[in-house]
Amino acid sequence: MDSSQRGRSTADTINRKRSSSSLNAPLLPKKRTCSSSLTKREQTPSTYNRIRRRVIVRDYGTPIYKASSCVAIIAALEGCIKGYESLHDRSSMLQRNVSIGNLMMNEDVDNPS
C-alpha cells in the first residue's frame, strides 16, 4: 500500500460520486419553447367548462383562537362546518384554505350571522 493510501478504507472509494458520463445517463430533454404550448384552439376536453369564480366577503366576528371558552370554540367550529357544507351543497364550491386564521366566530347573541 502506498503512503497516500494509508488510513483510507475501501468504503471511501465505494461512496465517491460518479460523474453522469460514467453512468451513461441520458441527457435531460430540452425546455419547451413558447410555440409548443397549448393555444386556445387546442384546449383539452377537461378545460371546456371551466369557470373562474371569486367570492369576496367581509370579515365578521373574531378569529376562532380568541374564543372566550371551550363551548364557544365548539359552537364556532360547528357553525364553520355547517357553512362549508352549505357552500359545497348549494354551489359545488370547496374552500381549500381552512386554517385557524380563516375561521371566524360570532359570540354576539343578538346577531345570528
Question: pLDDT 10s per residue in the chain (113 long)?
Answer: 555 555 555 555 566 666 655 566 666 666 665 555 555 556 666 666 777 777 777 767 888 888 888 998 898 888 888 888 988 888 888 877 777 777 888 777 777 66
Element holding 77 (H helix, E strand): helix 70-91
Q: Is residue 90 part of a domain?
A: yes
Q: Looking at the domain assignment, is residue 8 inside a domain?
A: no
pLDDT for the residue numbered 61: 81
Instruction: For residues 111 and 32, give the distance between their C-alpha atoms in angstroms, rounded to a whole number.
Output: 56
Structural domain contains residue 6: no
In a domain, 87, yes or no: yes
The predicted structure's pLDDT at residue 36: 52
Domain contains 101? yes
Q: How far is CA 62 from CA 41, 74, 86, 90, 100, in A?
A: 48, 14, 21, 26, 11
Please answer whether residues 76 and 67 qualify as being in contact, where contact means their C-beta atoms are separated by less than 8 angstroms: yes
User: What is the count of structural domains for the chain?
Assistant: 1
Residues 64, 104 contacting (CB under 8 angstroms): yes
In-domain check, residue 84: yes
**Alpha-carbon span 82 to 61, nearest angstrom:** 17
Within a domain: 31: no
What's the pLDDT at 76? 85
Domain that holds residue 79: 65-108
Please give the pLDDT value at position 19: 60
Return the pLDDT at 95: 76
pTM greater than the 0.75 cutoff: no
